[in-house]
Structure 1
Amino acid sequence: MIKESESHMQSYGKLFSILLILLALTGFTVFISRVDLGSANIWVAILVASIKASFVLLYFMHLKYESFLIKSSFLATIGFLAILIGFMFWDIAFR
């Protein structure tokens, strides 16, 4: 027999706190864009964007409650994307 899945309902307080975290990270992105960090600017921007995307995926798209297979396929896709972006940076650096 198929077991009834758990409810993925989250409280409004939790969702609102995630929204506030995302807004704070957006404000940090705007602030850090005005600071000259040299070559680290792109890495900080990618790091903050990755953190924000993780919050959206985990809480608003309910990836936190999915099975191991879906989580691992998503992580494999992200890993492959990171490799491709790394190759792009490596290609641009040695032109």
Structure 2
Amino acid sequence: MSEEKHHIVSYKFYVIILLALLALTFSSVEITSIELGKYTVAGALLFAVIKSYLVLTYFMHLKFDKPYIKIMVGFVFAVFVVTIVITLLDYLYR
């Protein structure tokens, strides 16, 4: 058998993360009703990034996984960002 360390996270911690995610979700919906001009989308995206970080780190257990799995997830995000940048550049220079 392998000698893996198991992490134990309490339900209270998951409830706190869930409440934070709910608060961020309601905040991202409410930010669209505030007139921030060109910063409205940036604010909503900031909330989305924070929520994604919480879900990936705690609900998907990346905080407790091996480093190579974190590297693979980072690689997937890098490919995603490159794809979006290439798409936006294509749209910009047509």
TM-score (ref. length: structure 1)? 0.83
The amino acid across from 1:87 in the alignment is I
1:15-47 alpha-carbon deviations (Å, 9 max, x no partner): 111011101101110111112322222222222
Flag as ranges the 4+ runs of structure 1 deviating above 6 A. none
Report what 1:78 is aligned to: 77
Aligned residues: 94
What percent identity do the matched residue pairs reach?
36
CA distance in 2, matches of 1:22, 1:43: 18
CA distance in 2, matches of 1:38, 1:50: 20
Greater relative CO, 1 or 2 (CA 8 Å, sep 6+): 1
Report what 1:2 is aligned to: 2
Is residue 18–residue 55 contact of structure 1 (8 Å, CA) maintained in 2?
yes
**CA RMSD, Structure 1 to Structure 2 (Å):** 1.9
TM-score (ref. length: structure 2)? 0.83
Report what 1:37 is aligned to: 36
Unaligned runs of 5+ in 2: none
Report what 1:51 is aligned to: 50
